[in-house]
Amino acid sequence: MYKELTFYYGAMGCGKTRKLLGTRYSKIEDGFSVAIMKPQIDKKGGDYILSRENDKVKVDFLIKDKDNIYLEISKYLTKKNLDFILVDEAQFLKKKHIDELASVVDILGISVICYGLRTDFKGELFEGSKRLFEISDNICEIERQCSCGRKKMFNMRLVNGKPVFLGEQVAIDGVDASYEAKCRYCYNREFKENDD
């Protein structure tokens, strides 16, 4: 079986975490050992991954900016075996983390499946997503439809229920702000309406 680095991307609320949890269940059912990883910056749920349906699973690896994922996994493998690593909110990882995940695939022989956003609330690539687009073996979009019928692509940030287009790149959903996924057309319309 090929060992591959795979990136599933989509807008907010497109069901990435649901897909991650579903993959976890089926891989375990098929007899594989699976670990869950997420960046620590995603404060939502703490040590757990939460889907919108309130499924929750404990995270095995919480990654800080300075962590070396390759070394962490090498250490883990001295005690346990691992077939798959599923990474939630992969957009928040650093470029070097994605390169380390590629080494986990190529040198340690573990398949890595990342799930994350394509772009931030301004429509610009996140560091982790950018690197995943550059080096993944497989890139798959999880599509959802905007209420107008077009494809959801943008993650509009809402603070106190109002769209905002300025601010820091990271504001955690449900903690610091909320988000509404929109197609490019609807996002640009909101942007113009709020441009004063």
The residues binding Zn ion (CB under 5 A) are 146, 148, 150, 183, 186
SS3 state of residue 159: strand
Smaller CB separation from Zn ion, 83 or 163:
163
CB of 163 to Zn ion, least distance (A): 14
CB of 64 to Zn ion, least distance (A): 37
Smaller CB separation from Zn ion, 75 or 150:
150
Of residues 4, 72, 89, 190, which has the active-site annotation?
Answer: 89
CB of 185 to Zn ion, least distance (A): 5
Smaller CB separation from Zn ion, 107 or 148:
148
CB 12 within 8 A of CB 173: yes
CB 93 within 8 A of CB 127: yes
The reply to whether 180 belongs to the active site is no
Total H helices, total E strands in the chain: 5, 11
Smaller CB separation from Zn ion, 115 or 179:
179
- Distance, in Å, from the CA atom of 153 to the CA atom of 86, rounded to the nearest integer, reads 23
123-127: long-range contacts, CB 8 A cutoff, minimum separation 24: 123/153, 123/154, 123/187, 124/169, 126/91, 126/92, 126/169, 127/91, 127/93, 127/94, 127/95
Measured torsion, CA atoms of residues 23, 149, 10, 50, in degrees rounded to the nearest 10: -60
CB of 186 to Zn ion, least distance (A): 3
SS3 state of residue 88: coil
Active site amino acids: 89
